[in-house]
Amino acid sequence: MKKYLSVLLLIGLLISSCDKGSQESVSTLEKDIQELMANMSIEDKIGQMQQVFDGFYPNDDDLIKAVREGKVGSFLNVMGADRISELQRIALEESKHGIPLLFGRDVIHGYRTIFPIPLAMASSWEPELIEKSMRISSVEASSMGINWTFAPMIDVTWDPRWGRIAESCGEDPYLASVYASAMVKGIQGDLNDQTAVAACAKHFVGYGMSEAGRDYNTTYITEPLLRNVHLRPFEAAKDAGALTFMSAFNDLNGVPTSGNEFTLKTILRDEWGFDGTVVSDWASIEEMISHGYAANRKHAAEIAVNAGVDMEMATTTYAENLKVLVEEGKVSEEVINERVANILRVKMKLGLFTKPVSQHVSVDTILAPSHLKVAREMARKSIVLLKNESNTLPLPKDIRSLAVVGPLANAPHNQMGTWVFDGNGDDSVTPKVAIENLLGKRMNFVAGMEYSRDKSTAGFKEAINAARKSDAILFFAGEESCLSGEANSRGIIDFPGVQKELLIELKKTGKPLVLVVMAGRPLGIGDEINMADAVLYAWHGGTMAGPALADLVFGDYSPSGKLPVTFVKGAGQIPFYYYRKNGGRPSSPEDFTHIDDIPRNSKQLSLGFKTMHLDYGIAPLLPFGYGLTYTEFQYSNFSMSDAKLKANGTLTVSADVRNSGNYEAEEIVQLYVRDRVGSITRPIKELKGFEKVHLKPGNLRKVTFLIEPEDLAFFNGNDYVIEPGDFDVWIGPNSDEGLQGEFSLE
Ligand code: GLC
């Protein structure tokens, strides 16, 4: 016993010394910051608060002069490892205070090796692989001198009309939080390492609720919704150590997020204790004039700096006005010092004062085979099998002939998706090339259309002929990458162009018809899904989308992806999210009479008096969490450790999952909970956990989840509460089905 105690004592001493050590390192850091700032003039401090894009200065002499004079704290989109290294050397060796620069760039889902768009990666439900992908992005970006990326984008959204859903992690706050943490860790890695890149949690906050899915539009979000949904991924990013945040373009309940003291100060700084840098989103400070919230540039600068934006991106309201605002007493020197300390803290945490500046583009870094291998695995696991009638898929590798048709079968740039600043379509392996490598002349490729919006049917005949002489058809349809991403919202979320018409013609050939969709959003393609025998939703899968699709089409890998966002039947159903409220007159998918079936002379006011649409009913096209596989998974033997969860206890919930089919495959087992009665109305379901299991045919795995009272906490408009009461719990394959139990929280 004595020995045990002495060991405990030793551990205690070690922890306290480590603790002291980490405390010492923090205080050293803070001391360094204060010492540095003590020698900085107000002009020097304001210089740190300016991020300029390359080309901001008329020529390089002016740019270098500005660096030497300490007028720039960060650059955006400066390209070239040598150029960046030289600018960093000048900042460190030739500027007044030797303060290094942050070099920012949007490396959202890959630098040169492009991974699937974030919404696609979110379909993998594999945070470890996402972290690995983001790490590779940073290894490639940092080899080019980039040390700050504006990712992860973790805006929760319910609206597929919004172009930036492509960049998001989907509709669920729990899943988005898991991804936020993984992405931050992947992007930043070890801060002492040369490959560390500062992450930027964006867009803080609520941007994904832009009204009508129209980008840059206004947002109204109640505080319960803000705290129970939209803030959660950002808190997870902060907890994961994100060094920076970015404000947003939207006004939130009337206050632009770049001038919003409630979000930027009360929540981010006071409640969460975030001590990193907040950067504006492009001209979002200046845009407060257009919002009608700032009278002019000087007023905009005053609002933003007092609210909590440390660094101004692209525009120069700070550089123009802060000195005068301090002299006029409208902005205190303390505020300026706080802003600049946040910036210097990030630069010091990133080791920029001490790391060597020379970046060498190691040829084996950019597009390294190991990077492409991970990109292919990420793309494979991002694809969702939506339908597989009579096991159309996988196709036999020895198929006699296969028609590969459609405007996205051989679209090397478009398959990379949105936000691919440094991606190059020439690096892409398209589905057409990947399949040709496998089948050679047994593949009959005819695009049939030039591009997804093509209205011409001139190519149909050749495509149909190719289909007629083949044993099966792969039809690659969807959206060009320019139809999603920033500023690319769509009011109609159908297939653009005449893709549906071509699908109809291909269907008439009677051949097995596999629809492969490449898009940046969930599309309202119920009819097209009904027409096809099998459907793979491949999103925009990045550089290696082609080989990844071939792996699935020919059965080298069984699809495992699950939807991170609800698929609606059409734009009229938006907003739709699975964690909706029950309402006072809930309806179920069964109890509705379709608009076409309402008796012709019906005099009844309504056949239901329940919440639904006469044409859409209440069910979406496909539910959150949905995805098929080549095998079958059976759920059985639901069990709980107790029917009661004590206030300081834990509850385990389990179910057996068995691979009862013929393929080795992965299943994403999901845990949902419903709080039946709350001090505010509660969602009909909330995702509280998931586990991805890999099972050979015939194998079984008991999947167990732990539920603690904290998992049931929510913000009720006044406070975060954990309320005793009755709960439902499900373990299942998606948000619509599963084995159910119930428990009460004491
Ligand atoms: C853009 C985007 C933001 C991006 C920034 C820099 O407008 O909203 O996500 O990081 O500007 O390119």
The mean pLDDT of the chain is 95
Mark whether 427 is an active-site residue: no
* CATH number, residue 154: 3.20.20.300
Segments of 65-221 assigned E as strands: 74-76, 102-105, 148-149, 200-204
Is a pLDDT exceeding 50 seen at residue 76?
A: yes
Which atom of ligand 1 is nearest to 151's Cα?
Answer: 10
| Average pLDDT of the segment spanning 436-461 | 98
Q: What is the pLDDT of residue 357?
A: 80
Residues 340 and 378 placed together within one structural domain of the fold? no
* Rounded alpha-carbon distances, angstroms, from residue 13 to 4, 9, 20, 32: 14, 6, 10, 27
Q: Judge whether 102 and 129 are in contact, CB under 8 Å.
A: no
Q: How confident is the model at residue 319 (pLDDT cuts 50, 70, 90)?
A: very high
Which atom of ligand 1 is nearest to 200's Cα?
Answer: 10
Residues 728 and 684 placed together within one structural domain of the fold? yes
CB within 8 Å of 166: residues ≥ 6 apart:
117, 118, 119, 417, 418, 484, 485, 520, 521, 540
Domain membership of residue 220 (yes or no) is: yes
Q: Does residue 202's CB lie within 6 angstroms of at least one atom of ligand 1? A: yes
List the Cα angle 616/617/622 in 5-degree steps. 70
Which residue among 44, 281, 422, 711 is the active-site one? Answer: 281
Q: Judge whether 633 and 732 are in contact, CB under 8 Å.
A: no
Domain membership of residue 196 (yes or no) is: yes
DSSP state of 264: I
Residues 94 and 148 placed together within one structural domain of the fold? yes
The CA 312 to ligand 1 mean position distance, Å, reads: 12
Residues 138 and 76 placed together within one structural domain of the fold? yes
3-state DSSP call for residue 75?
strand
Q: Does residue 106's CB lie within 6 angstroms of at least one atom of ligand 1? A: yes
* Rounded alpha-carbon distances, angstroms, from residue 93 to 60, 68, 69, 87, 145: 18, 9, 12, 10, 17
Q: Does residue 743's CB lie within 6 angstroms of at least one atom of ligand 1? A: no
Domain membership of residue 41 (yes or no) is: no
Residues 79 and 201 placed together within one structural domain of the fold? yes
**What is the percent of the chain where pLDDT is above 70?**
96
Q: Judge whether 131 and 186 are in contact, CB under 8 Å.
A: yes
- The mean-pLDDT minimum among 362-366, 563-567, 711-715 falls in 362-366
Q: What is the pLDDT of residue 601?
A: 87
Domain membership of residue 102 (yes or no) is: yes
Q: What is the pLDDT of residue 22?
A: 65
Residues 519 and 667 placed together within one structural domain of the fold? no
Record the pTM.
Answer: 0.96
Q: What is the pLDDT of residue 363?
A: 59
Burial 480-509 (b: 16+ CB within 10 A, else e): bbebbbbebbbeebbbbbbbeebbebbbeb
Domain membership of residue 36 (yes or no) is: no
Q: Judge whether 701 and 656 are in contact, CB under 8 Å.
A: yes
Q: How confident is the model at residue 11 (pLDDT cuts 50, 70, 90)?
A: very low
Q: Does residue 204's CB lie within 6 angstroms of at least one atom of ligand 1? A: no
Q: What is the pLDDT of residue 465?
A: 98
Q: How confident is the model at residue 26 (pLDDT cuts 50, 70, 90)?
A: low
Q: Judge whether 585 and 611 are in contact, CB under 8 Å.
A: yes
Instruction: Give the whole-angstrom CA distance, residue 381 versus residue 521.
Output: 17
How many C-beta atoms surround the C-beta of residue 30 within 10 A?
15
Domain membership of residue 658 (yes or no) is: yes
**What is the percent of the chain where pLDDT is above 90?**
92
Q: Does residue 454's CB lie within 6 angstroms of at least one atom of ligand 1? A: no
Q: Does residue 150's CB lie within 6 angstroms of at least one atom of ligand 1? A: yes
Rg (CA), the chain: 27
Domain membership of residue 152 (yes or no) is: yes
Q: What is the pLDDT of residue 27?
A: 84
| Average pLDDT of the segment spanning 172-192 | 98
The CA 536 to ligand 1 mean position distance, Å, reads: 31
Is a pLDDT exceeding 80 seen at residue 318?
A: yes
Pocket test for ligand 1, best of 56, 197, 282, 422 (most atoms within 8 A of CB): 282
Q: What is the pLDDT of residue 271?
A: 98
Classify strands 651-659 and 633-640 as parallel, antiparallel or unpaired: antiparallel
Is a pLDDT exceeding 70 seen at residue 134?
A: yes
Domain membership of residue 30 (yes or no) is: no
Q: What is the pLDDT of residue 179?
A: 98
Q: Judge whether 208 and 164 are in contact, CB under 8 Å.
A: yes
How many C-beta atoms surround the C-beta of residue 55 within 10 A?
9
Residues 278 and 414 placed together within one structural domain of the fold? no
356: its two tokens: 């060597």
737: its two tokens: 């089905």
Which range marks the domain in which residue 500 is found?
A: 374-553
Residues 335 and 419 placed together within one structural domain of the fold? no
Percentages helix, strand, coil for the chain (3-state, rounded to 5) are 35, 20, 45
Is a pLDDT exceeding 60 seen at residue 663?
A: yes
157: its two tokens: 């959204």
| Average pLDDT of the segment spanning 629-656 | 98
* CATH number, residue 379: 3.40.50.1700
Q: How confident is the model at residue 10 (pLDDT cuts 50, 70, 90)?
A: very low
For 133-144, the three-class secondary structure string (H helix, E strand, C coil) is: HHHHHHHHHHCC
| Average pLDDT of the segment spanning 337-353 | 98
Q: Does residue 282's CB lie within 6 angstroms of at least one atom of ligand 1? A: yes
Which atom of ligand 1 is nearest to 104's Cα?
Answer: 6
Residues 266 and 415 placed together within one structural domain of the fold? no
Q: Which of 521, 538, 553 is the last residue of a domain?
A: 553
Q: How confident is the model at residue 360 (pLDDT cuts 50, 70, 90)?
A: low
| Average pLDDT of the segment spanning 553-576 | 98
* Rounded alpha-carbon distances, angstroms, from residue 124 to 535, 553, 579, 736: 17, 17, 20, 18
Is a pLDDT exceeding 80 seen at residue 607?
A: no
Q: What is the tally of structural domains in the chain?
A: 3
> Whose CA is closest to atom 8 on ligand 1?
281
Burial 705-731 (b: 16+ CB within 10 A, else e): bebebebbebbbeeeeeebeeebebbb
| Average pLDDT of the segment spanning 719-746 | 98
Q: What is the pLDDT of residue 560?
A: 98
> Whose CA is closest to atom 11 on ligand 1?
282
Q: What is the pLDDT of residue 19?
A: 53
Q: Which of 349, 383, 403 is the last residue of a domain?
A: 349
> Whose CA is closest to atom 7 on ligand 1?
282
Q: What is the pLDDT of residue 692?
A: 98
DSSP state of 641: S
Residues 340 and 402 placed together within one structural domain of the fold? no
Residues 191 and 294 placed together within one structural domain of the fold? yes
Q: What is the pLDDT of residue 359?
A: 58
* CATH number, residue 739: 2.60.40.10
**273-316 pLDDT, tens digit each:** 999 999 999 999 999 999 999 999 999 999 999 999 999 999 99
Instruction: Give the whole-angstrom CA distance, residue 425 versus residue 416.
Output: 7
Q: Which of 307, 333, 349 is the last residue of a domain?
A: 349
Residues 380 and 323 placed together within one structural domain of the fold? no
Q: Judge whether 476 and 405 are in contact, CB under 8 Å.
A: yes
Is a pLDDT exceeding 80 seen at residue 2?
A: no
